[in-house]
Amino acid sequence: MKWRIFLCVLLIISLTIPAYAAPIRWVDFDIPYESLQYAMEQDIASFDKEMHISWIDILSLAACRTGGKCGLASVKKATSELKNGKHPQDLLGENYKYYTYYHEAYSAALGGLLGNFAIEKDGQLTPSYGLKAFSPVAAGYGYSHCSDFGVSRSFGFQRKHLGNDLMGGLGTPIVAVEGGVVEAMGWNRYGGWRVGVRSFDSKRYYYYAHLQKDAPFAPGLEVGQMVQAGDLIGFMGCTGYSDKENVNNIETVHLHFGLQLIFDESQKECNSEIWINVYDIVRLLSSHRASYRKENGTWQRVYPFYDLDVEEFPKA
């Protein structure tokens, strides 16, 4: 009798404690640039309409049908269906069980790229909704890149390349892609001088490495400092591959740009970190670049930027 009472008590307790799904352990981010751009444009175009179609919803629906490949045809089909008021659960049937995974994964990867912002030009603030993240390379500076995620690297130990290399000129201004908090600065034997910025929602950790020798960081930048999207954080260089600080051991001047997804704090620094291929994200951001000018030896942002999703609309 006692053991039956004990089992009943355990059952009651289990029913009153909420169930939590285990955090996502891996993300294969394979959405091509054309699909990202189309879904983003549909999101922006419908923002002020009665039915706002989120690009996360579009891509998640397409991913369930394509195993995450999200070809443009599948994205266009998903967009049309959502515009007609159809629900993913009705459209997917048994495959709807994958929808939550893709939606959470894509929200983590892309959640800070679109939103409400204001840019100041000629003393006037213009609020907008759209792409509020910036290319990591400032406007007016050329660069080239290719899809190099997963390519073999051998310095220190055999490993895979967990980012996208953007080749450019020495001293090119590097900016924060998204607003957040500077979480890491300093020397790393692999990345040389590097900066790590954590997004405001803590889901994304942006890694900028191989910064310039002698003057790698934006003046005054400190760990714990809040930065806005497009803020200057450093300068392109070729440092790294050395246990000794401030050494140029990288053959080609470039920025290593990486993005780590964090669903649980235990994933931040471990043997199973989630780094995704950002090549197509970099392509998407190439159309939105922060402008800087240097006056009397000081870098100045040409158009002040305000993220209205994390701060109030600035008063005149």
pLDDT digits (tens, 9 = 90+) for 218-243: 999 999 999 999 999 999 999 999 99
Confidence band (pLDDT; 50, 70, 90) for 6?
A: very low
Tell me what percent of the residues of the chain surpass a pLDDT of 70: 91
pLDDT, mean of residues 60-64:
98
pLDDT, mean of residues 208-213:
98
- CATH number, residue 195: 2.70.70.10
Collapsing DSSP to helix, strand or coil, 132 comes out as: coil
Whether 148 and 288 share a structural domain: yes
Q: Is the pLDDT of residue 3 over 70?
A: no
Q: Is residue 126 part of a domain?
A: no
233 contacts 174 by C-beta, under 8 angstroms? yes
Whether 97 and 170 share a structural domain: no
The type of residue at 25 is R
Whether 154 and 221 share a structural domain: yes
The pair of three-digit structure tokens given for residue 300, joined into one six-digit string = 């100045």
Question: Which residues 6+ apart lie within 8 Å of 212 measured at CB?
Answer: 170, 171, 193, 234, 235, 236, 237, 239
Whether 62 and 193 share a structural domain: no
Whether 76 and 217 share a structural domain: no
Q: Is residue 195 part of a domain?
A: yes
Quick one: pLDDT at residue 13? 37
Whether 59 and 156 share a structural domain: no
Collapsing DSSP to helix, strand or coil, 136 comes out as: coil
Q: 3-state DSSP helix/strand/coil percent for the chain, to nearest 5?
A: 25, 30, 45
Whether 281 and 153 share a structural domain: yes
Please give the model's pTM, rounded to 2 decimal places: 0.91
Confidence band (pLDDT; 50, 70, 90) for 10?
A: very low
Quick one: pLDDT at residue 154? 64
Provide the residue range defining the domain that includes 35. 28-110
**17-31, 178-192, 284-298: lowest mean pLDDT where?**
17-31
Quick one: pLDDT at residue 266? 86
Q: Which of 290, 288, 289, 282 is nearest to 146 (CA)?
A: 282
Whether 50 and 92 share a structural domain: yes
Q: Given its phi and psi angles, is residue 101 left (phi above 0), alpha (psi -120 to 50 degrees) or beta?
A: alpha
Q: Is residue 212 part of a domain?
A: yes
Q: Is the pLDDT of residue 272 over 90?
A: no
Whether 230 and 288 share a structural domain: yes
180 contacts 227 by C-beta, under 8 angstroms? yes
38 contacts 72 by C-beta, under 8 angstroms? yes
- Name the CA dihedral angle for 13, 15, 17, 19, rounded to a multiple of 10 degrees: 140
What is the number of structural domains in the chain? 2
Q: Is the pLDDT of residue 261 over 80?
A: yes
The pair of three-digit structure tokens given for residue 67, joined into one six-digit string = 């195993």
Whether 195 and 95 share a structural domain: no
Confidence band (pLDDT; 50, 70, 90) for 157?
A: low
Whether 171 and 285 share a structural domain: yes
Whether 97 and 188 share a structural domain: no
Q: Which of 210, 206, 189 is nearest to 275 (CA)?
A: 206
Higher pLDDT, 277 or 122: 277
